[in-house]
Structure 1
Amino acid sequence: MEEQNMESSSSSCFDGYSEHSRSIIHIDIDCFYAQVEMIRNPELRSVPVGVQQKNIVVTSNYEARKFGIQKCMLVTDAVKACPNLKLVNGEDLQPYRIASNKIFTLLQTWKCPVEKLGMDENFIDVTNLVQERVKMVDSKSVTVAGHAYKVASVECICGCHTRLKLASQLASEMRSKIFNELGFTTCAGVAHNKLLAKLICPLHKPNDQSLIFPEHACSFMSTLPSVRCIPSIGAKTSEALMSLNIHSVSDLQQVAPEILQKPFSGDMAVRLKKLSFGEDNTPLKQTGRPLSIGLEDSFKTVSVKSEVEERFSALLQRLIVLVREDGRIPVSLRVTLRKKDAKRLSSHRESRQCQISPSIFTISNGSLNVPEAGQSKLMSTVMRLFNKLVDLTKPFHLTLVGLAFTKFQDRMTGRGSMVNYLMNDISVQSVLNLTNDCDTSGCSMDYSAASPSSSTTTDLSDAEVEPSPKKPKKVNWIAKRRCLSKEDVASPSKLRVGELRLNSRELEKVSELRLNSRDRSLTPRASPARECLSDASDSMKDIAEGSNCDSCPGYVDQEVFSALPGDMQQELKAMWKNPSSSEVPRSSPRTNKAKSNTILKYFLPNK
């Protein structure tokens, strides 16, 4: 009779929460770090193993737990409890990241949304896959794979019992595949929401799985000894609840909503109440690439700049390996420090970040690399940010340093991408920093001041930016000299960008044309654009006088002219012979027709 009352009370707790349509699986890898080490070294499978970071055992296998080894136990205490404990250094997280990514990739083969939670946990939304299987089975013949928290007495009218049973079978398939292909044992939880799936998962740990039906959510939640067992409740929230004498989840279920609204907002109070009954409508979000890739190194204390630089250098080397595996090009770098402040009696974190140039990273054989010059530049950026966080004129004490790349740009490697274009065997140089390999005259223009390599990082308050140099106003370059051998095909696309320059005499000619066009533009009823074009055409005509149609004006290089296609040569000859024909008719204000695109616009200076 008492059990029947519990069933009815459980059902009444959940009467308002009738959303059972989803089927969620939560998979947790058993003693993840320890399993990774045991797979790497099979000799560790039958002995107590502890994974050590600094002076703490962060996790252990189940053989070690039989001796009382607990998570985050001091190494000295762990060795006393288990003298035969085999300690493995786990400070390098790279093997664990690789294993985690393999598991995540394998779970994605089911074509369902997968959300990572740390390295060793994953949520899988199998709702659509279950819906397909429901159509192909007899609901009465479907059984639970693994364990059920309680046996369902009455079938739910929405059909969620059948769906969750099918989800449990999917969970068993996933766990079997993870073990057969990767060697990891796992536990799983199956429920209609993420909260219950996660909480029911360790019920039959290790290497097993559990299912909970919606009508049992209230009674299951009431068995949790502390409100901290609910994943959404952190330290501050639990402290506020304890101040109201609310310690267990059962206390939270029974408290009046009005009392919860005193320390919390109305929405927060409602959410806490629903969580205590096992309701969670949080959607499952497909995990994509990480928004940041970072590493940290903690220690007792560091007070010397040289030692800080050594630790940053070690972190940077490891971080470059992670970025190479990720494949994206970082464009922002963040430095994090944890300072020990005697006045505050606690440690606190501070961070600064700045943008970095993507040119630091190179692509070789399809993989991302950082040459020594790039690493040196990154280290100088790191130490510059460090100098902004720490006043070196005063003593400092650090207990943690961290590096992270926080923004990325995807590599575009298709046929039409800029990367593919720049990697071709074409002599292309920055328009801002042109060098002339064939011209040794002293009249070349020097743009070294505008070169990107000379730009420096501008410091801002929090998010610092390394700006690109300002682009000069658009200049129409006149082809001066061809730098290809005579046996090369005469094509404008193979002209070196570095040869499209203006010498001093040509600059004087351009300036003179601009001055003339500016003076004439003051004449009433004259179009400035028409006057400028007319003046330029007149100047060309004057220069071309006395020469036949087969020759070029004095300011055009004969070699470059001969490299142009035949139709361009004919157009230029016609223009030099009759400059007035190149005038562009004035367009009506009401029409927006595009002007003809002739070679003239590339050889005449803009006004």
Structure 2
Amino acid sequence: MDDRNMESSCSTCNEIDGEHFKSIIHIDLDCFYAQVEMVRNPELRDVPLGIQQKNIVVTSNYEARNYGVSKCMLVTDALKVCPNLKLVNGEDLHSYRTASGKVFLVLQGWRCPVEKLGMDENFIDVTSLVEEKLKNANLNDLIVMGQLYSEPSAECPCGCHNRLKIASQIANEMRKKIYDELGYTTCAGIAHNKLLAKLICPLHKPNNQTTIFPQHGANYMSTLTSVRSIPSIGSKTMEALISQKIISVSDLQEAPLEILKKHFSSDMAVRLKSLSLGEDNTPVKQSGKPQSIGLEDSFKTVSVKSEVEDKFSALLQRLLVLVREDGRIPVSVRVTLRKKDAKRLSSHRESRQSQISPSIFTLSSGVLTVTEAGQQKLMAIIMRLFTKLVDLSKPFHLTLVGLAFTKFQERMTGRSSIVNYLMNDISVQSVLNLQNDGDASITSMDYSAASPSSSTTTDLSDAEIEPSPKKPKKVNWIAKKRCLAKEEVASPSKLKVGELRLNSKELEKVSELRLNSRDRSLTPRASPAKDNFSDASDSMKDLEDGACNDCPSYVDKEVFSALPDDMQQELKSMWKNPTSSEKTRSSPRKNKSKPNSIMKYFVPQK
């Protein structure tokens, strides 16, 4: 772009100064995988180094690149151009993820939004920080740290030049801190938007940084030889553009908007045009923890179930390490397969996922762990999903298996949490199943586990629901089959947790109250007592004083005297006036139980 065009572009800054106010930094770690290995083993620093995954060199250090080793080169070809190439297996990504997380934490120290892009790239929006520094800055002393794409012929009226100069100083501080604390060299791009910051970043690699001013954005974009260089343009969009003889970014700049609208939506056409001119208003979004944690293993072919199970078992062991470091509890697992299909002449992926119980994971001393039994349960779920994806009655050929935990439960079920209390002690939701067993007076109760609910669910229609967690310890509880209190009580699910615990004296008192029903069909059922069973002594007194003078001969008077007063009156009325019994039975109860909720265990009963 000539000086006249630059001045024209700058003269429009007053109209578009809203697009220049941001200051964005893009930081990219140099030859990331190779650098991590060189930091771990300093002996690799001065030798040609390649990181091998399967039979491919996925990346190499700059010593190897000087020999002609390039990314994704076959190992055999790499050794031909560089016979002394040192190869390190990089299939286990654990150390690389750890290094990426450390870089991310360093960048967060500036208290600015940081957005991760893969493991080795980060966007940082330093707009607010720049504004603060600008207040106390001497504008005459401001300089650009590192490289400048092009010197401006005039200052932009919006003040973006000074802001980007300060941003370049901040970028230099970030890169220095990453090197001092972690030993990694980086390159950086500084611009007023994410697009230019990313694209200008590698211009002076390695271990350097480049700043570009807004007025030079279109000029720099025109130097890109392929529209695929623009991050937002994928392979399908590129093919559509090439079909219209639009190959380079310069071609896209010159293409009339009307032509683009014929092949793309109106919004997409405008978006493509803007990107070609270096315009981008995408915000930097603060990155959190990943939505899923997964691993994959590719190979030539696997056609035996036992080998597939071994692959999944190895992936699960590595995946559990990542989950432990992440700290969240997974609630869903996904299995992915890549099948080799001769009819389709290409491989394709299929996946299926299932919810899993959070109880598989336990928290011990702040560390998330899985027992051997839990691992076996996970493997059973994984292989069940596998069998749903593959018909084992027919030959199959897989070239990839993948395993991922998707959707997480943020809150830990710690030792003092209510979820842990309900799971490991008793289940309030299934308290008693009082049965009339005649002579039986002691019943062993088995309480189902209250599985901690999760707000996250699988988003696949074919997802399976994992069975409820393993039942907790059994609680032996001696209880009567009829109510002991006179007043009407709520349903068993509304009993307070504390009321379900009986001491030995109370158990003795309850065991003395053996109530045997002579006619189950005529004896009405009662709800469990709401009052604490320490009131059992009062119930004993009621048994002595509450004789039924009007009871029919077939009614057990002891059983009748144990019923609440209103129920006794209802039965007496029914016996005196049998014709009104149906009306009495069908009449609604005044004190209707309220819906059950977790709040019942925290809010005092009224």
Deviates more, 1:414-423 or 1:303-312: 414-423
Paired position in structure 2 for 1:409: 409
Paired position in structure 2 for 1:27: 27
| Residue pair 2:7, 2:154 contacting (<8 A) in 1 also | no
> Could you say if the C-alpha distance between residues 341 and 593 of structure 1 is closer, same or farther in structure 2, counting changes exceeding 3 Å?
closer
Paired position in structure 2 for 1:4: 3
Tell me the distance in 1 between the aligned counterparts of 2:59 and 2:516.
73
What is the CA deviation profile of residues 366-389 of structure 1, one whole-angstrom value per residue up to 9, with x for unaligned ones? 211111111111001001000000
User: How far apart are residue 407 of structure 1 and its match?
Assistant: 1.0
User: How far apart are residue 110 of structure 1 and its match?
Assistant: 0.5
What is the CA deviation profile of residues 313-340 of structure 1, one whole-angstrom value per residue up to 9, with x for unaligned ones? 0001111111111111111010000111
Tell me the distance in 1 between the aligned counterparts of 2:516 and 2:177.
73
Paired position in structure 2 for 1:336: 336
Helix, strand or coil at the partner of 1:39: helix
Paired position in structure 1 for 2:391: 391
| Residue pair 1:433, 1:451 contacting (<8 A) in 2 also | no
Give yes or no for the alignment of 1:428 onto 2:419. Answer: no
Helix, strand or coil at the partner of 2:331: strand
Give yes or no for the alignment of 1:466 onto 2:466. Answer: yes
Paired position in structure 2 for 1:67: 67
| Residue pair 1:194, 1:282 contacting (<8 A) in 2 also | yes
Helix, strand or coil at the partner of 1:259: helix
Give yes or no for the alignment of 1:322 onto 2:339. Answer: no
| Residue pair 1:295, 1:404 contacting (<8 A) in 2 also | yes
User: AA paired with 1:196?
Assistant: L
| Residue pair 2:14, 2:157 contacting (<8 A) in 1 also | no
Q: Provide the aligned length of Structure 1 versus Structure 2.
A: 518
Paired position in structure 2 for 1:515: 524
User: How far apart are residue 131 of structure 1 and its match?
Assistant: 0.5
> Could you say if the C-alpha distance between residues 231 and 215 of structure 1 is closer, same or farther in structure 2, counting changes exceeding 3 Å?
same
Tell me the distance in 2 between the aligned counterparts of 1:128 and 1:260.
37
Tell me the distance in 1 between the aligned counterparts of 2:301 and 2:406.
26
User: How far apart are residue 544 of structure 1 and its match?
Assistant: 3.2
User: How far apart are residue 479 of structure 1 and its match?
Assistant: 5.5
> Could you say if the C-alpha distance between residues 326 and 433 of structure 1 is closer, same or farther in structure 2, counting changes exceeding 3 Å?
farther
Paired position in structure 2 for 1:103: 103
Helix, strand or coil at the partner of 1:324: helix
Tell me the distance in 1 between the aligned counterparts of 2:353 and 2:32.
33
| Residue pair 2:363, 2:412 contacting (<8 A) in 1 also | no
| Residue pair 1:293, 1:322 contacting (<8 A) in 2 also | yes
Paired position in structure 2 for 1:150: 150
Tell me the distance in 2 between the aligned counterparts of 1:217 and 1:15.
17
Paired position in structure 1 for 2:296: 296
| Residue pair 1:14, 1:218 contacting (<8 A) in 2 also | no
For residues 204-603 of structure 1, the aligned pairs below 5 Å read 204-412=204-412, 417-418=417-418, 421=421, 428-430=425-427, 432=430, 444-445=442-443, 461-466=461-466, 468=468, 495=502, 515=524, 543-545=543-545
Deviates more, 1:397-406 or 1:504-513: 504-513
| Residue pair 1:303, 1:396 contacting (<8 A) in 2 also | yes
Tell me the distance in 1 between the aligned counterparts of 2:126 and 2:67.
39
Helix, strand or coil at the partner of 1:280: coil
Paired position in structure 1 for 2:173: 173
Tell me the distance in 1 between the aligned counterparts of 2:519 and 2:134.
79
User: AA paired with 1:204?
Assistant: H
User: AA paired with 2:28?
Assistant: D
Tell me the distance in 2 between the aligned counterparts of 1:93 and 1:23.
32
| Residue pair 1:57, 1:72 contacting (<8 A) in 2 also | yes
> Could you say if the C-alpha distance between residues 305 and 17 of structure 1 is closer, same or farther in structure 2, counting changes exceeding 3 Å?
farther
Tell me the distance in 1 between the aligned counterparts of 2:306 and 2:564.
73
> Could you say if the C-alpha distance between residues 138 and 395 of structure 1 is closer, same or farther in structure 2, counting changes exceeding 3 Å?
same
Q: What is the alpha-carbon root mean square deviation over aligned residues? A: 4.1
Paired position in structure 2 for 1:164: 164
Tell me the distance in 2 between the aligned counterparts of 1:306 and 1:516.
56
Paired position in structure 2 for 1:527: none
User: How far apart are residue 447 of structure 1 and its match?
Assistant: 6.4
Tell me the distance in 2 between the aligned counterparts of 1:577 and 1:67.
94
User: How far apart are residue 206 of structure 1 and its match?
Assistant: 0.3
Tell me the distance in 2 between the aligned counterparts of 1:229 and 1:201.
13
> Could you say if the C-alpha distance between residues 277 and 594 of structure 1 is closer, same or farther in structure 2, counting changes exceeding 3 Å?
same
Helix, strand or coil at the partner of 2:285: coil
Paired position in structure 2 for 1:123: 123
> Could you say if the C-alpha distance between residues 496 and 83 of structure 1 is closer, same or farther in structure 2, counting changes exceeding 3 Å?
farther
User: How far apart are residue 430 of structure 1 and its match?
Assistant: 3.9
User: AA paired with 2:524?
Assistant: L
> Could you say if the C-alpha distance between residues 127 and 509 of structure 1 is closer, same or farther in structure 2, counting changes exceeding 3 Å?
farther
TM-score (norm 1): 0.77
Helix, strand or coil at the partner of 1:463: coil
User: How far apart are residue 394 of structure 1 and its match?
Assistant: 1.2
User: How far apart are residue 17 of structure 1 and its match?
Assistant: 4.7
User: How far apart are residue 401 of structure 1 and its match?
Assistant: 0.4
User: How far apart are residue 145 of structure 1 and its match?
Assistant: 0.5
User: How far apart are residue 412 of structure 1 and its match?
Assistant: 3.6
Tell me the distance in 2 between the aligned counterparts of 1:355 and 1:117.
28
User: AA paired with 2:96?
Assistant: Y
| Residue pair 1:541, 1:576 contacting (<8 A) in 2 also | no
Tell me the distance in 2 between the aligned counterparts of 1:85 and 1:99.
24
User: AA paired with 2:146?
Assistant: G
What is the CA deviation profile of residues 74-95 of structure 1, one whole-angstrom value per residue up to 9, with x for unaligned ones? 0000011101100000000000
Tell me the distance in 2 between the aligned counterparts of 1:346 and 1:496.
70
What is the CA deviation profile of residues 566-587 of structure 1, one whole-angstrom value per residue up to 9, with x for unaligned ones? xxxxxxxxx999968x99xxxx
User: How far apart are residue 543 of structure 1 and its match?
Assistant: 2.3
User: How far apart are residue 154 of structure 1 and its match?
Assistant: 1.3
Deviates more, 1:362-371 or 1:169-178: 362-371
User: How far apart are residue 158 of structure 1 and its match?
Assistant: 1.1
| Residue pair 1:540, 1:579 contacting (<8 A) in 2 also | no
| Residue pair 1:23, 1:192 contacting (<8 A) in 2 also | yes
Q: Structure 1: state its 5+ residue gaps.
A: 436-440, 472-476, 482-490, 519-538, 548-552, 556-574, 584-588, 596-600, 603-607
Helix, strand or coil at the partner of 1:70: coil
Give yes or no for the alignment of 1:200 onto 2:200. Answer: yes
| Residue pair 1:145, 1:168 contacting (<8 A) in 2 also | yes
| Residue pair 2:147, 2:209 contacting (<8 A) in 1 also | yes
User: How far apart are residue 4 of structure 1 and its match?
Assistant: 2.3
Tell me the distance in 2 between the aligned counterparts of 1:447 and 1:303.
49
Tell me the distance in 2 between the aligned counterparts of 1:325 and 1:403.
17
> Could you say if the C-alpha distance between residues 312 and 265 of structure 1 is closer, same or farther in structure 2, counting changes exceeding 3 Å?
same
Tell me the distance in 2 between the aligned counterparts of 1:54 and 1:106.
32
| Residue pair 1:428, 1:496 contacting (<8 A) in 2 also | no
Tell me the distance in 1 between the aligned counterparts of 2:191 and 2:323.
36
